[in-house]
Structure 1
Amino acid sequence: MHIAFSPCCRSKQRIKKMATTAVRPKIDTYAVARYIVVPNAEADGSTGSSTTRKDQSAVAKLTRLKRRYENEGHCVMSVEGVMVVHAHNHPHILLLKKSSASSSEAGALAPSSVGHASQATFRLPGGKLRGAEAPADCLHRKLARDILGHQKSTDDEVEQNRHAEASDHPFVMGHSGHAAIGRSGNDHSGVAAAQQAGIRVGEVLSVWCRPSFDRVMYPYVPAHVSEPKELRTLFLVHLPSECVLAVTEPNTELVAVPLFDLYENASKYGALIASIPQLLSRFVVNVC
């Protein structure tokens, strides 16, 4: 018996064949509940001191960027990490949400509400490079600071921390046997801490240009700009299958935001974060 397929069925088969045969890189994603967020004191065994960012407002950030550009005499380089998890078989992006108050209770990371978040700002983990620092090293260092509870030590702690770094067991264990990162004595140890936790900096997703000292950025260098004031590179960051995370910045929490809420939502998240769904469309998202 001959079965005739309708044009609609044939079109769907072609689309499915193209999606499966095209050469596309793969992202392994794990359930958001696998990542435990703990207060900083529980993660590193310290007294729970927090890390306050240098820039408390957009104006302060731009002022410091201008000062650094004038001091160094060249474009400022910065990096940010895009970390993908899944909930209900849909990709979510880990963002740092800063608001007037945030929860400090330990527990599994949960998907963020897609409702309107008044007086809240969102950002990707990351920061600016130092001198000739490699972008991957900088991002590892910033990830250790932003999501692993890593803090700089005071001068009288350096010797003790150097001994701890030489130990064969650099981790302390958190909930369910997850590896948690302890406090270290210098920024190089922050790079090692992120790497030992299984966090890997992967592909470049996009590069954004800031032509002048304002909030506007473009995914290209405008023709009239001889040298941008800042170049910001977004990297895909591959996470381990499970990990203990700790956010030390006051009034800041780590949230998992679904792609459908980010898409074309620059008014809430900004142009860079809102572009992530398009950037990830070239990848095969593997739900583990």
Structure 2
Amino acid sequence: MGDDGRMHAMEDDESAAADQIRAIDIYPLSNYYFGSKEPLIFKDKTLADRVIRMKSNYAAYGLRTSVEAVLLVELFKHPHVLLLQIRNSIFSLPGGRLRPNESDIDGLKRKLSRKLSANGSPDASDWEVGDCLGTWWRPDFETLLNPYLSNNVKGAKECTKLFLVKLPESRKFIVPKNLKLIAVPLCQLHENHKMYGPVISGIPQLLSKFSFNIIET
């Protein structure tokens, strides 16, 4: 193949790669209203309490399946992820555990409405749940979540699925008083395991297959 042929082949490969990159529309943080409501009651005061509860629930129901949302906004011309902050130190994505036989999409909409809408409104039709970005596994009760499940693990204890949730141009977020909803830039999350844990710090890599279309209003 001559130089011209190789050049055309490279251009075709680049064009094909560009076609595979999907765009995500994101809107400025200033488009959104943030209010508060009655605080949530947390079942676990310590990590040990959480492990005890997980063991009890696993004995009763088996594998714990959780769903979490990646919500994106724009601030300073850069994509930010909305995170819930607990006690000024613990960060989490909005979401939670599914009910028995509840679908991923229905469960995530229910959890988003409970934590981010006024009075935990049961009407979850306005949450637009998109791609599943990744699945994480907890092989036993005490270890961190992993983005894979080893063949030698029998009976994983928890499965967590991350979904991209597209936000509308504007909306009201009504958050429990004992939680904060904060916007954190992708560049701050990247591989920052110590502060955000393995799941949240892995979000920038999961989003690398997308481009960001910032909508100015």
Q: TM-score, normalised by structure 2?
A: 0.88
Query: Equivalents in 2 of 1:240, 1:54: separation in Å?
Result: 32
Query: Equivalents in 2 of 1:28, 1:71: separation in Å?
Result: 42
Amino acid at match of 1:29: I
Identical aligned residues as a percent: 37
The residue aligned with 1:69 is 58
The residue aligned with 1:272 is 199
Identify the match of residue 43 of structure 2 among 31, 38, 54: 54
Identify the match of residue 221 of structure 1 among 139, 149, 174: 149
Partners of 1:149 and 1:248 within 8 A in 2: no
The residue aligned with 2:35 is 38
Shift in Å at residue 130 of structure 1? 0.6
How many correspondences in the alignment?
207
Distance 1:135 1:249, change over 3 A: farther
Residue 236, structure 1, aligned to residue 160, structure 2: no
Deviations 1:92-143 (A, max 9, x none): 000001125xxxxxxxxxxxxxxxxxxx110001111111001111111111
Query: Equivalents in 2 of 1:35, 1:62: separation in Å?
Result: 36
Rg larger for: 1
Residue 83, structure 1, aligned to residue 74, structure 2: no
Give structure 2 stretches of 5+ with no counterpart: 1-6
Q: For 1:150-229, what aligned pairs fall within 5 Å after superposition?
A: 150-151=119-120, 184=121, 190=122, 192=123, 194-195=124-125, 198-229=126-157
Residue 287, structure 1, aligned to residue 214, structure 2: yes
Amino acid at match of 1:99: R
Give 4+ residue runs of structure 1 displaced > 6 Å after superposition.
Answer: none
Residue 127, structure 1, aligned to residue 124, structure 2: no
Query: Equivalents in 2 of 1:136, 1:62: separation in Å?
Result: 26
Partners of 1:53 and 1:249 within 8 A in 2: no
Amino acid at match of 2:97: K
Shift in Å at residue 59 of structure 1? 2.5
Partners of 1:146 and 1:249 within 8 A in 2: no
Give structure 1 stretches of 5+ with no counterpart: 1-9, 41-48, 101-119, 152-183, 185-189
Query: Equivalents in 1 of 2:102, 2:161: separation in Å?
Result: 14
Indicate the larger mover: 57-66 or 198-207.
Answer: 57-66
Shift in Å at residue 37 of structure 1? 0.5
Amino acid at match of 2:78: H
Query: Equivalents in 2 of 1:25, 1:211: separation in Å?
Result: 33
Task: Report the secondary structure of 1:220's partner residue.
Answer: coil
Which has a greater percent of strand? 2
Shift in Å at residue 208 of structure 1? 0.3
Q: TM-score, normalised by structure 1?
A: 0.67
Q: In angstroms, what is the RMSD of aligned CA positions?
A: 2.2
Partners of 2:36 and 2:177 within 8 A in 1: no
Query: Equivalents in 2 of 1:134, 1:99: separation in Å?
Result: 31
Shift in Å at residue 55 of structure 1? 2.6
